[in-house]
Structure 1
Amino acid sequence: MSTDAFDLTLGEVVDSRPAARPQRIALTGRHVGIVPFDVGTHGPALYERSHGPEKEQLWAYLGAAPFEDYAAFEAYYAAAAQKDDPLLYAIIDKASGEAVGHATFMRIDPANRVIEVGNILYTPALMRTPGGTEAMELMARHVFETLGYRRYEWKCNALNAPSRRAALRYGFRFEGVFRQHMIVKGRNRDTAWFSMLDGEWPQRAHAFAHWLAPENFDAEGRQLASLGVFNADQIEVGDIRLRRASLADLPTVEEVQRRAYAKNRILLGVEPVPLLWDYAQVFREREVWVVDGATALSAVLILEPRAEDLLLDSLAISPMAQGSGLGNVLLAAADARAQALGRGVVRLYTGEPLSANINWYRRKGYSIERVEQMPDRRLVHMAKALG
């Protein structure tokens, strides 16, 4: 039979070099440190913090039960600390210097560049704190940026609602439930699977950085915008949905930007600002939103949350989609995003010779704040206060 009778469509060709195995090294953040677990150093404090009145709840979904005494705890963790997979780390509160939780890298598959974070224990001293979120940020950053994994997994008992909420908050995507996956402590466990991919990480890293920033907390330490909001995957404006871009979109985003802004070269006399950017860096430093068309991206919206406002850094419509009203959609999406993040002002800038753009923004509620003289151009800065 001829091979023409078969559909030989195969997966994308990828870099097949293996990732590095995680080692027993320390990761340091502002609030917490991640260090190789040592039962003699970390055991006493962790046992005390995890065996109070709430111990049944803390250990409910972990493979081990609460321990009868410290001797049993010590024996279990002395053995666990020697394993390479799961590779156990203590989470250290930098203020007290004591262990307040633990987590592991597990099911480590360097050949396929897949790794899981699991066996997570957060004591009350770590729960609902910036340090708890920072611990997960440190581990994810290490997985993607240092070790070179392409898939990061989170799995939990499907009945474990707090863990499922945490996975989504951290930016993992729900993939489904494996029914009757395990038997744990004599009970059936259906397992909920979540993942984060290397192409998604730059936007997740951006969200973590903005949530953890000191300006995201008030004087009493309360968050101003949630990590879930920073990690939002879509903005809906009427019937149009903008989705958060991933690195898989990078070439098409660059192409839309190039085609949308190239026409301004003649009026400006210089290269338009968005065409000077390194877009790999843009994906790490700004929010990138896109509108999908029938065959390609129709529009790109690039935003940057700042302490006092939301900067609308770029608005680009594919030439094939111009005249369809998408410009109004992107402006409305920027307004919606600013409000979700608790910003009362949206700001933007454009080249002074682009009078049609300036007039259009003024009709949409923006006013000129100032004109900035740059070495090679003049930028008109505009702002819109949201009601």
Structure 2
Amino acid sequence: MTAIDLGPVVDPTPAPRPSHLILEGRYCRLRPLDPARDTDRLYELSHGPERDRIWAYLLTGPYPDKADFAAHVAKIAAGTTDPVYWAVADAEDRAIGWLSLMRIDPANRVIEVGSILYTPVLQRTAAATEAQYLLARHVFETLGYRRYEWKCNDLNAPSKRAAERFGFSFEGLFRQHVIAKGRNRDTAWFSMLDIEWPQRKLAFEFWLDPSNFDASGRQKVPLGVLTQPAAAEGGLALRRATLADIAAIQALKTAAYLPNEATIGVASLPRVADYAALISNHEIWVADGAGHLAACAVFEPAREPVIYSIAVHPAEQGKRYGDAILAFCETRARALGAGIVKLYTHAKLTERIDWYGRRGFVRTHVETLPDRQVQHMAKTLR
């Protein structure tokens, strides 16, 4: 009798419901809405000349007068179950917008960010992005949810672009999903998973770092570049790795690097590395093969990026995937604004060092470690 595949077993423990914790950031803080303190300012910021655009795709507003708006703020501020609202506050702790966690399903550990009000002083700022980062980090790391959702009117092109920029994946369109302000709304559906969060977090933190902004506050590397989910190079279809790929990455590294150990006489560092840890501070890109990963690049996204390791499965030899994965790393370094890319390998792997040399990498120095010598190399990008 053929076994029935019922899917992977998961921990059925429910997640806690969110509560009004204060979430501190560098550019903003998320705190509970305070009607007495926040109503006048939020009304002023959200009911000026751009009021119709600001409220166009929200399910409420704009409001005919401040009294009606105040009643709405008082209502949402008092909610403690679903939805739960936070004010987005600036460096002086003045409210400049709000967002909420809603459609909260603790049993399945699913939650949605929604009802997002970004006033003009918040839009297109570092604080606007950091607010999303703070809430996502809270959802995954503090509350332990498995799935984080973003939904919006399919006509709301800026919201759909924002979802993808923040690292959510488009899943489909729910036609005639709701009636909003007397009009049909088709809803675009996006999600982010806990297994994807380490690579999304890495992108957020690179983008939010002060070094990513010039003296006038302009970004150097767009967040959409950092959250890029897939790429193609030399016949390889690459995607960002998730926590679900860790075992396959370890298997690929063993297949690719174990043969080197007869030459170097010690364990190969890429074979014994902890990829569950590396996925938090390195970009990891993989290409799927038949029953295994075909290739993998582990890449440190810095101002001078470092290729920690590249690997091609032995079963894929002869397809020039080594050239493809190396070329991808160079392309990725350029996308991050780098003028140089670095790598290192064991000094005894002379054929590998020569291979890199034929592809434009030059030897910079040899590092002596207790059990090995490491050849460092670099390539100037044009």
Structure 2 contact 29–93 (Cα < 8 Å) conserved: no
1:353 to 348, 352, 355: 348
C-alpha separation between the residues in 1 aligned to 2:208 and 2:376? 28
Identity between Structure 1 and Structure 2 (%) = 51
Aligned-pair CA distance for 1:377 = 2.2
2:335 partner letter: A
Report Cα offsets for 1:321-346 as digits up to 9, x if no partner: 23331111111111111122221211
TM-score of the two chains, using structure 1 as the length reference: 0.95
Structure 2 residue 315 is the aligned partner of structure 1 residue 320: yes
1:92 partner letter: A
SS in 1 for 2:279: helix
1:233 to 213, 229, 233: 229
Structure 1 contact 58–121 (Cα < 8 Å) conserved: yes
Alignment of 1:258-337 (within 5 A): 258-307=254-303, 309-337=304-332
Aligned to 1:376: 371
Structure 2 contact 252–292 (Cα < 8 Å) conserved: no
Structure 1 contact 90–102 (Cα < 8 Å) conserved: yes
Aligned to 1:92: 89
Aligned-pair CA distance for 1:86 = 0.8
Report Cα offsets for 1:288-309 as digits up to 9, x if no partner: 10111122111111111112x2
Residues paired across the two proteins, number: 381
SS in 2 for 1:19: coil
Structure 1 contact 157–191 (Cα < 8 Å) conserved: yes
C-alpha separation between the residues in 1 aligned to 2:277 and 2:57? 39
Aligned to 1:222: 218
2:191 partner letter: S
1:196 to 192, 196, 217: 192
The CA RMSD measured in Å over matched residues stands at: 1.4
1:39 to 35, 42, 46: 35
Report Cα offsets for 1:104-141 as digits up to 9, x if no partner: 00000000000000000111111111111000000001
C-alpha separation between the residues in 1 aligned to 2:368 and 2:93? 50
C-alpha separation between the residues in 2 aligned to 1:220 and 1:269? 52
Structure 2 residue 152 is the aligned partner of structure 1 residue 146: no
Structure 2 contact 109–144 (Cα < 8 Å) conserved: yes
1:362 to 327, 349, 357: 357
- My pick for the range that moved more, 137-146 or 39-48, is 39-48
Structure 2 contact 175–185 (Cα < 8 Å) conserved: yes
Aligned to 2:207: 211
Structure 1 unaligned residues grouped into runs of 5+: none
2:24 partner letter: T
Aligned-pair CA distance for 1:355 = 1.0
Aligned-pair CA distance for 1:7 = 7.3
2:324 partner letter: V
SS in 2 for 1:285: coil
Aligned-pair CA distance for 1:24 = 1.0
C-alpha separation between the residues in 2 aligned to 1:88 and 1:214? 28
Aligned to 2:111: 115
- My pick for the range that moved more, 151-160 or 318-327, is 318-327
TM-score of the two chains, using structure 2 as the length reference: 0.97
2:376 partner letter: H
Structure 1 contact 235–337 (Cα < 8 Å) conserved: no
C-alpha separation between the residues in 1 aligned to 2:262 and 2:206? 37
SS in 2 for 1:192: strand
C-alpha separation between the residues in 2 aligned to 1:49 and 1:373? 60
Structure 2 unaligned residues grouped into runs of 5+: none
SS in 1 for 2:78: coil
Aligned to 2:173: 177
Q: Which runs of 4+ in 1 moved over 6 A?
A: none
Structure 2 residue 241 is the aligned partner of structure 1 residue 245: yes
1:91 partner letter: V
SS in 2 for 1:30: coil
C-alpha separation between the residues in 2 aligned to 1:296 and 1:352? 29
Structure 2 contact 152–187 (Cα < 8 Å) conserved: yes
- My pick for the range that moved more, 338-347 or 177-186, is 338-347
1:194 partner letter: F
C-alpha separation between the residues in 2 aligned to 1:51 and 1:99? 14
- My pick for the range that moved more, 314-323 or 144-153, is 314-323
Aligned-pair CA distance for 1:22 = 0.5
Report Cα offsets for 1:201-254 as digits up to 9, x if no partner: 111001101111111111111111111000111121133211111111111001
Structure 1 contact 345–385 (Cα < 8 Å) conserved: yes
